[in-house]
Amino acid sequence: MKIKIIALGKIKEKFLKTGIEEFCKRLTPYIPLEIIEIPAIEIKDENLTNKILDEEGEKILSYIKPQSYVITMEIEGKELSSEKFSAMLKSLINEGETELIFVIGSSCGLSEKVSSRADFKMSMSKMTFLHQFARLILIEQIYRAFKIMRREKYHK
């Protein structure tokens, strides 16, 4: 299986870039991971939010193959413990999924088209995080999931 993260916006903060790079490096022995950054469109008029989300959504969907398993990160998605997240990834691997795509939207969320394409909608927490933090947290949790799967020391 290959994992892709499609995320809107660039990571500008050096400390986040460093953390993301570190966990990407740690994941290398376990699974290929690709991050696709799509420029977020600045919303200057709140009345245009849905139109802009749809434009961003079209760009996101252009990277998704029909056979890809898609997990969107959404506020109203299902929360999972690290152990249940690991079990879900293991199950997807065992079922023969070849490409798993995580989608992280902009600070305004995701278009309905992208949300409706999701095979699973996941929430990181009831708390609100900057979407740039979400990328680091997601990659760390993917790494943690593989450590749990392999019963390796890291997860406590």
CATH of the domain at 17: 3.40.1280.10
In a domain, 135, yes or no: yes
Please, is 12 exposed, middle or buried when counting C-beta atoms within 10 Å of its C-beta (0-12, 13-18, 19+)?
exposed
Domain count for the chain, please give it. Answer: 1
Q: What is the DSSP letter of 44?
A: S
CB 135 within 8 A of CB 7: yes
Structure tokens at 86: 């690991």
Six-digit token string for 85: 């997240």
Tell me what the mean pLDDT of segment 148-155 comes to.
88
Per the CB < 8 A criterion, the answer to whether 56 and 103 are in contact is: no
Report yes or no on 155 lying in a domain: no
- Is 142 exposed, middle or buried, given 0-12, 13-18 or 19+ CB atoms closer than 10 A? buried
Task: Give me the domain span that covers residue 101.
Answer: 2-40+50-149
pLDDT at 156 over 70: no
Question: Which of the four pLDDT bands, split at 50, 70 and 90, describes residue 155?
Answer: low
Contacts of 111 (CB under 8 A, 6+ apart): 50, 53, 54, 56, 57, 58, 60
Looking at 2-6, 128-132, 138-142, 145-149, which range is the least confident one?
128-132
| Exposed / middle / buried, residue 68 (Cβ in 10 Å: 0-12, 13-18, 19+) | middle
Residue 45 placed within a domain:
no
Q: Is residue 63 part of a domain?
A: yes
154: in domain:
no
- Given a cut of 90, is residue 42 above it in pLDDT? no
Note the pLDDT tens digit of each residue in 53-101.
999 999 999 999 999 999 999 989 999 999 999 999 999 999 999 999 9
**Inside any domain, residue 11:** yes
Mean confidence (pLDDT) of the chain: 94
Question: Are 136 and 17 in contact, with CB atoms under 8 Å apart?
Answer: no
Residue at 153: amino acid letter:
K
pLDDT at 106: 85
